[in-house]
Amino acid sequence: MLYRSALNKAIDESMEADSSVVILGEDVGRYGGSYRVSEGLFSKYGEKRVIDTPIAELSIVGNAIGMAIAGLRPIAEIMTANFSLLAMDQIINHAAKFRYMSGGKMTIPLTVRMPGGVSRQLAAQHSENYETLFSSIPGLIVLAASNASYAYYGLKWAIFSNDPVVFLEHELLYPMDMEFREIKNFDPFKAEIVKEGKDVTIITYLKMRYDVIEAAKELEKAGINAEIIDLNSLRPLDIETIANSVKKTKKAVIVEEDHKTGGMGAEILAQITEKCFYDLDAPVLRIAGEDVPIPYNRKLELASIPTPEKIVKKILEWKAENGI
């Protein structure tokens, strides 16, 4: 199943099951969405439930919060995570706080969907990862869908949650054809062990999942059997699954596309240190994006983020430096 089809299926089934579910955003209606995620929904549900909006992210999220307070279950689509900066006041200062400021009398059943990450020559203003910003905000749930199954089950769970969910996608995943697995007793906060291994735990999420899988094949040739964990949920973090793996392999590597300084990996590293310090045979290795705005030039763009080749090289260097 295409990644974008899994998202479309989740929205379609949710709208069919519950008339309070609506979607709003730029080009989500007649055009079918910038990445075709809402394709076919406008003709099926009409303009009152599939709402084209002006290019005004603050207004999209603000209106969605009002809808949620009034009893609807809105899905606000932001065209790219980069544009979510314009809606930060609504997301952080309103959606995340209303339940707490009302003493639990007010719920905000809101899903804010957005893709982020480095695509292909979209340059600095369209290539950022802002998961660290969202994951640092109390009151928000932050999910990161890297595959069709989690995209489907995770988004349906988010839509029917009574708390605000930031649902992160990646632009390069939309056209990917992926295996779709049926999941019983779905837990949105459970990390996935993508591959079992015994020599090192590699923790990752979103598009980096696939770069890590490619890297693991090369590491296998070098005699390193890596265990791969896809986080799925960034807030809350499934530290139990991570810690159990690290206590087994004694070594941890974090691979993220985000910038290294202050990136998601820094928080993961901190929690590993708190839980597993005396189990580690070597310092935790972070493989992340460079601390630069993403360049437009393709060679420089690739140089600014982890690739399978870089992941293999850095892990082999780290292994040699630490005698492990």
Exactly one of 26, 57, 169, 227 is catalytic; name it.
Answer: 57
HSE, side-chain direction, 13 A CA sphere, residue 254: 25
Are the C-beta atoms of residues 203 and 263 closer than 8 Å to each other? no
Exactly one of 26, 77, 94, 126 is catalytic; name it.
Answer: 126
For the question of residue 170 being annotated catalytic, the response is no
User: Element (H or E) spanning 299, and its range?
Assistant: helix 298-303
Amino acid at 20: S
For the question of residue 267 being annotated catalytic, the response is no
Beta carbons within 8 Å of 228's beta carbon, 6+ residues apart: 193, 194, 195, 197, 202, 204, 209, 212, 213, 216
Q: What share of the chain is helix, strand, coil (3-state, %, to 5)?
A: 40, 20, 40
| Helices (runs of H) and strands (runs of E) counted in the chain | 12, 12
Token pair 């009398």 is found at 105
Task: Give catalytic residue positions.
Answer: 57, 126
